[in-house]
Amino acid sequence: MPYLTAPADACRTASGEQLGFGVPGYAHPLLAPAEWAELTRPGTPLHWAVLNIANGPGSRPDPHCLEAAGRLRNARERALRGEAPDAAVRASGGRLLGHLDLAHGERPFDELIADARSFIDWYRVGGFYLARCPGERSGLPAVRRLTGTLHALLAASDSADDGGRLVLGHGFQPYPGYAEAADQLVTFQGPWTDYRWSQVAEWTADYPPERFAHFVHGVPRTHLEEAMRVARWQGAGTIFFTDRDDRDGQSDPFATLPRYWDEIVSRIGPGISE
């Protein structure tokens, strides 16, 4: 892509800055109870987690998802009120985001807004993850219209503090103007074999690390430290690394915990830095 260049100056994320997790979408809470329980475990630096039922909010409130959403929301509220020790605040401060599938810009605006309203009304989400977001310049006006409306819906609800959070799930380096359309952009989603040799877009140097997220699958345990160095070098503040891949018998490698979950939590948890 024309915006890609190798970083030529210094590490983009200072060694003392705290990485955190963004969870792009665990399996349904009934199928992945351990994964959802980990979201509020003290010592886990969670930034946000995505709730996805049937590629959206589903047709009606799901009792298992209501319970999982309530636990995460209550943990966040306790953390914001200062009712937990420092380590637990970092663990419990994550937002719940509703999954909206943009289908690369093909889904009608009204359908997306209807899904957003259901997420807010049923699960009181604190923001949205815009999956399969287009990244070309031509798609930017429609995405800006959508994110502006979503921010207004969140601001009018009682479920989102600080106006909520919007994450654009490109999975690649988009046209630079998208950085002004949402709170965070997913600028890499793919296998470790590509990530370890990837290059960062030069324009991202104008923004702080909390504006970017990287999701990498197939990361061996022995390469965790290297993967974190790549994330910091490229200026990503939110990550999800897993040793799972599509050969593990499931199409989504991010649907379950990595086998080294405890280790990666300890590596980037409170007080850990390079």
pLDDT digits (tens, 9 = 90+) for 4-24: 444 444 345 444 457 899 999
Token output for 119: 């997420």
Distance (Å, whole) CA 164 – CA 48: 11
pTM of full prediction above 0.85: yes
CA 40 to chain centre: 16
- Residue 26: how many CB atoms within 10 A of its CB? 24
pLDDT in tens, 158-199: 888 778 999 999 999 999 999 999 999 999 999 999 999 999
Predicted local distance difference test score (pLDDT) of residue 86: 53
State the greatest distance between any 2 C-alpha atoms of the chain, in Å, as a whole number. Answer: 51
Token output for 244: 């799972």
